[in-house]
Amino acid sequence: MKKLLFIFFSVPLSLLYNSCSSSGGGVPSPILEDVIVDQIWEIKDGTERFYLNSNDGKLYGKDFLCDDFLIIGDWILDGNNLSYHYFDGSLEITELLGEVETFSVDEIKFNIYDDSTTQINLVFKAVDAAILGCMDTAAVNYNPAAECDDETCINPTGKWEIIPSCPYYEVFGIQINVEERFDDYMFIVSDSNKLNIDFGSDQTAYAEIDITGQLIIPNQTITLDFQDEGYDFIDVEVYGDGSVNTDIGIGILNLTFVFEILPGSIEETSCVLTIDKQ
C-alpha cells in the first residue's frame, strides 16, 4: 500500500466538493458512505487495493492481490473527502486520502490534482475478495477457481518409507509373513482424488483419497512373490483404508490380503503399514 499512498499524498489535492445529483426518473444517487464502506476497491489497471471496515473503523490496504490486508489507520469520511488518522509515536496524524469526484456502486474516481491546466484522477473499481484455495493441479483439494494459494494443498506425491507390521502365520508348516514382500520404500503419485501406489517389486495399487486425507483402497489384485517359501508368484486380493497427513508427512495403511497358495487353501491376513514421507 506504500506505493498507493505515495500516489495519493505526493501531489496537492483539490478540495472542491462535487455533490452527486439525482439520476433520471427521480431515483436518488447512492450515498457515498453506503457505496464505499465494506467494499473492496482496486485501482484500475493495477493491483493496489483498499477497503473501509465498518466494524472496527479501520482503513485496510495492500499492494498485491495475494498480500494480506494491513491496517493503515482509522478512516474518516467528511462529505466527499476521505481521510484517515494514525499515531506516529505520541503524534496523532490525519492524512487526506483523496476527494471523491464521482462514484457509483462499481467505480470511484478520486481527484488528486487540479489546477487551471491539469487534473489528475485515480479510478478504483469494486472487486470481490481474492479467492483462496489450493492451486496445485495434482492435489486432492485443487481449486480451479483459486486466485491465491492458501497452502492447504493435500498432495501425497513422493517417496514414503514403509514400516510394516504384519503377523506371521503358518501354511503347511511353512511360516509366511506378507511384510517381507514389501520394499523399504513406496512411491505415490497423486492425480486429483486418485492415488497410484507403487510398493516396489512391481506391486502397484490404486487408492481414492478425500480432502481430509482419508484413503480407501478398493478391492483389487496385485502379485506377490512367494518363491522364498517354495511357492511361485501368487495373485493376491488386497483392500483396505488409511490416511495421510501431508503437513507432517506421516500416514497409515490398513490392508487386508486374501490369496490361495494351494488350491482350496484360502488365506487371509491383515497388515498395518506406517508410512513416513522422505
The three-state secondary structure class of 9 is: helix
Using an 8 Å Cβ cutoff, are 260 and 266 in contact?
yes
> pLDDT digit string (tens) for 199-212?
876 788 999 999 88
What cell was used for 109?
474516481
Quote the CA–CA distance of 160 and 49 in Å, as a whole number: 43
Quote the CA–CA distance of 83 and 226 in Å, as a whole number: 79
CATH class of 158-277: mainly beta
Using an 8 Å Cβ cutoff, are 252 and 165 in contact?
no
Quote the CA–CA distance of 82 and 100 in Å, as a whole number: 7
Domain with CATH 2.40.128 in the chain: 2-130, 158-277
Q: How confident is the model at residue 239 (pLDDT cuts 50, 70, 90)?
A: very high
The total of other beta-carbon atoms located within 10 Å of residue 276's CB is 14
> pLDDT digit string (tens) for 5-56?
434 433 333 333 333 333 445 556 689 999 999 999 999 999 999 999 999 9
- According to CATH, what is the number of the domain 2-130? 2.40.128
Question: What's the pTM value of the predicted model, to 2 decimals?
Answer: 0.68
Quote the CA–CA distance of 260 and 224 in Å, as a whole number: 11
